[in-house]
């Protein structure tokens, strides 16, 4: 049923009846499957994809890489949990990279605010031995959706015959 | 100069395509959502485009052999054997053309002369009738029926045959109805044809786009039919390669060699870059076809279901990327319905009559659009059905 997940990740606006039709299964099966996915923590929630670039004074985003010394028992998990507990941290990933271990996407109202957050909150954590901050200038694509102006909507096909 | 005296009256007498009128209206309005285009919304798979680019970079920009590159012809034959179970000789029974359209034109002009009758099942793509007229032949229209799933039946065929019948056009999977002919339907047609000396132009351009368990059956795969069949297909629909303009004809050597002569004089050879790209598509593109087919299938299910819910009954289309709903509950003619729909709700679809008089009471709706786009169009169509006079919100 990965097809169902794929459709759900494309749009939250399909009704369960429409999803069932498209997949050629019963609506009950779709409902059951979605309930299962929720119970197993595969479906974690539904949000709206927003292009913050277009929202006045929406603030800034930064990608912050953290070099971390893993703890003996819990590895990177403990540090990750501390990082993700801040409300301004949008997402946290563990990376397989030679330079950095954790990557966090952080939101702030100004560049200064983020810089301060990194230097005061993240760099000072016991096991963090280095950080690198990259500020996001433009969102081109997010959540599988292109954010460039209507490129996908522009009909480029010609009308023939 | 009085040009009307100079122009070929056979040509000036042809009606312009009925699809065009609605395109022209749509073009002049803003915020129109169209479900009228008859080509894939996918772009050509990247590895195929890359192959085209690579050959350009290497400077492979010359004419190709008239018949098409040997490797491409070999790959086309392998492909037809692999996918549709029909074997052809790449040296004698294949011709690479500028789209399936050129192959249709070549085939009709190669076979049809003054006084010959050509059987054309309709609703169908718009080119067969004018091409027949230009070749001096007489189009004989066979009207397929919604209650038969718009298939051509043996009885309808038998009734249309006269001693002057030369050629039968078999346009399945069908544009605009989405109808397909299953093996048993083709066998019934074959039984009728066996009694007559009639050739068949099987337009299988949508052959890769069939839904459900049964795949497309080539008419050439029906016993004894290969010798009388010219199969026309191409890369446009299967590989989303419309703009590359590449198609082909497969058939008996005596016919193909005459088509080749005509192609040589009129066209010389198909586009070189497109041929290199097509070789890549045939070698490594089976998964691309599957991916696109699955996507079309989801849209097809959605759109058919929603139309039926709204009262626009449609028989379930099993091929191509069109649905052909009945608009009779509106009480309007097809033209009227489509025109009012575009002015009221700014949704462009094509009246069934554009594909033959028997398309009256129907409209062609293309689902070669994104699900998002289709969803919005469906909302607007429903609004129109509830109140044909309401302006778009």
pLDDT value for B25: 81
Mean pLDDT value across residues A83-101: 92
Cα gap B87→B220, rounded to integer Å: 9
For chain A, the domains span 2-39, 52-139
Give chain B positions within 8 Å (CB) of A11. 371-372
Do the Cβ atoms of A68 and A129 come closer than 8 Å? yes
Contact B368, B296 (CB under 8 A): yes
Place of tokens 């996915």: A37
Interface contact flag, B41 A21, Cβ < 8 Å: no
Angle ∠(B103,B109,B114) on CA atoms, nearest 5? 160
pLDDT at B392 over 80: no
**Cross-chain Cβ contact A22/B19 below 8 Å:** no
Q: Is A91 on the interface with B (CB under 8 A)?
A: no
Domain ranges for chain B, please list them. 3-44+288-385, 46-285
Q: Please tell me the distance from the alpha carbon of residue B19 to that of residue B228, in angstroms, as a whole number.
A: 32
ipTM of predicted complex: 0.73
A:B CB pairs within 8 Å: 40
pLDDT above 90: residue A147? no
Answer whether A131's CB lies under 8 Å from A67's CB: yes
Nearest Cα residue to B70 out of B252, B269, B262? B269
pLDDT(B101) > 80: yes
Report the gap between the CA of A47 and the closest CA in chain B (Å): 17
Interval A11-29 mean pLDDT? 92
Cβ-Cβ contacts under 8 Å, B301 against chain A: 21-24
**A52-139 CATH fold:** Alpha-Beta Plaits (3.30.70)
**CA B309/CA B381 separation, integer angstroms:** 12
B55-86 in b/e form (b: 16+ CB < 10 A) is beeeeeeeebebbbbeebbebbbebbeebbeb
Shortest alpha-carbon distance between residue B384 and chain A (Å): 21
Residues of A whose CB is below 8 A from B318: none
- Residue pair B194/B222 in contact (Cβ under 8 Å)? The answer is no
Residue B107: C-alpha distances to residues A86, B72, B111, B117, B229 (Å): 71, 20, 6, 14, 11
A22 touches chain B (CB under 8 A): yes
Split at pLDDT 50, 70, 90, the class of A58 is confident
Residues B177-225: pLDDT tens digits? 999 999 999 999 999 999 999 999 999 999 999 998 889 999 999 999 9
The C-alpha angle with vertex A62 and arms to A58 and A63, in degrees rounded to 5, equals: 145
pLDDT above 60 for B387: yes
- Please judge whether B372 and A159 are an interchain contact, meaning their C-beta atoms are less than 8 angstroms apart: no
Q: Considering only CB atoms, which chain A residues are within 8 Å of B19?
A: 161
- Contacts A155 to B, Cβ<8 Å: 34, 37
Residue A153, pLDDT > 70, answer: no
Residue B274 and residue A99: Cα distance in Å, rounded? Answer: 45
CB contact under 8 A, A10 and B17: no
- Is residue B114 pLDDT above 60, yes or no? yes
pLDDT in tens, B294-338: 999 999 999 999 999 999 998 889 999 999 999 999 999 999 999
Contact B198, B228 (CB under 8 A): yes
Q: Token pair 């990177």 is at which residue?
A: A76
Calculate how close chain B gets to A147, using CA atoms only, in Å: 15
Of B34, B41, B301, the CB nearest to A24: B301
- How many C-beta atoms surround the C-beta of residue B325 within 10 A? 25
Q: Which residues of B touch A13 (CB under 8 A)?
A: 375
Output the CATH code of domain B46-285.
Answer: 3.40.640.10
Asked if the model's pLDDT at residue A159 lies above 90, the reply is no
pLDDT at residue B152 is higher than 90:
yes
What is the per-residue pLDDT for A49? 85
Which chain B residues have a beta carbon less than 8 Å from that of A18?
302, 305-306
Domain at B3-44+288-385: CATH code: 3.90.1150.10
Residue B47 burial class via C-beta count within 10 angstroms: exposed 0-12, middle 13-18, buried 19 and up:
middle
Whether residue A11 and residue B372 make contact (CB cut-off 8 A), yes or no, is yes
Helix B272-284 with B286-310: angle, nearest 10 deg: 90
Crossing angle between the packed helical segments B286-310 and B371-386, to the nearest 10 degrees? 20
Number of C-alpha atoms within 13 angstroms, CB side, residue B88?
A: 32
Determine the distance in angstroms separating the CA of A41 from the nearest CA of chain B, rounded to an integer.
26
Arithmetic mean of pLDDT, A40-49? 91
Mean pLDDT for chain A overall: 89
Q: Would you state the pLDDT for residue B16? A: 84
- Separation CA B193–CA B312 (nearest Å): 36
């Amino acid at each position: 049923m990965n097809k169902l997940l794929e459709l759900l990740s494309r749009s939250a606006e399909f009704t369960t009846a429409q999803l069932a039709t498209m997949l050629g299964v019963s609506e009950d099966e779709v409902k059951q499957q979605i309930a299962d996915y929720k119970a197993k923590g595969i479906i974690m929630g539904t949000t709206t994809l927003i292009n913050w670039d277009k929202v006045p004074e929406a603030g800034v985003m930064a990608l912050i890489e953290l070099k971390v010394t893993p703890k003996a028992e819990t590895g990177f998990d403990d540090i990750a949990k501390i990082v993700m507990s801040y409300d301004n941290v949008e997402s946290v990933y563990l990376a397989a990279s030679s330079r950095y271990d954790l990557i966090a996407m952080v939101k702030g109202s100004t560049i200064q605010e983020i810089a301060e957050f990194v230097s005061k909150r993240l760099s000072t954590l016991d096991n963090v031995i280095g950080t690198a901050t990259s500020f996001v200038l433009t969102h081109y694509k997010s959540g599988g959706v292109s954010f460039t102006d209507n490129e996908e909507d522009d009909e480029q096909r010609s009308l023939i015959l | 100069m009085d040009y009307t005296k100079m122009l070929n009256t056979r040509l000036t007498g042809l009606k312009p395509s009925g699809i065009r009128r609605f395109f022209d209206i749509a073009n002049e309005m803003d915020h129109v959502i169209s479900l009228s285009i008859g080509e894939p919304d996918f772009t050509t798979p990247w590895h195929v485009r890359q192959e085209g680019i690579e050959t350009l970079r290497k400077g492979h920009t010359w004419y190709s052999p008239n018949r098409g590159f040997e490797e491409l012809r070999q790959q086309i034959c392998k492909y037809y054997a692999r996918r549709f179970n029909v074997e052809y000789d790449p040296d004698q029974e294949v011709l690479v053309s500028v789209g399936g359209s050129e192959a249709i034109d070549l085939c009709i002009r190669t076979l049809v002369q003054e006084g010959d009758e050509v059987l054309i099942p309709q609703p169908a793509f718009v080119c067969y009738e004018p091409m027949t007229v230009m070749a001096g032949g007489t189009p004989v229209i066979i009207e397929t029926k919604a209650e038969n799933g718009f298939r051509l039946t043996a009885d309808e065929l038998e009734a249309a045959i006269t001693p002057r019948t030369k050629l039968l056009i078999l346009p399945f999977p069908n544009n605009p109805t989405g109808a397909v002919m299953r093996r048993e339907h083709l066998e019934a047609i074959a039984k009728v044809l066996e009694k007559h000396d009639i050739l068949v132009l099987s337009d299988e351009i949508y052959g890769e786009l069939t839904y459900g368990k049964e795949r497309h059956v080539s008419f050439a795969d029906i016993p004894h039919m290969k010798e009388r069949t010219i199969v026309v297909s191409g890369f446009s629909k299967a590989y989303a390669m419309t703009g590359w303009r590449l198609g082909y004809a497969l058939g008996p050597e005596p016919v193909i060699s005459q088509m080749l002569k005509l192609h040589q004089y009129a066209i010389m050879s198909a586009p070189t870059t497109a041929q290199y790209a097509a070789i890549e598509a045939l070698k490594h593109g089976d998964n691309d076809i599957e991916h696109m087919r699955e996507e079309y299938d989801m849209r097809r299910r959605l759109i058919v279901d929603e139309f039926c819910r709204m009262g626009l009954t449609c028989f379930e289309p099993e091929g191509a990327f069109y649905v052909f709903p009945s608009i009779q509950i509106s009480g309007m003619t097809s033209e009227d319905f489509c025109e009012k729909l575009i002015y009221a709700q700014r949704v462009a679809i094509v009246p069934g009559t554009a594909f033959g008089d028997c398309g009256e009471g129907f409209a062609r709706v293309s689902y070669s659009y994104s699900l998002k786009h289709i969803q919005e169009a469906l909302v607007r169509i429903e609004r129109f059905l509830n109140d044909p006079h309401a302006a778009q919100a």
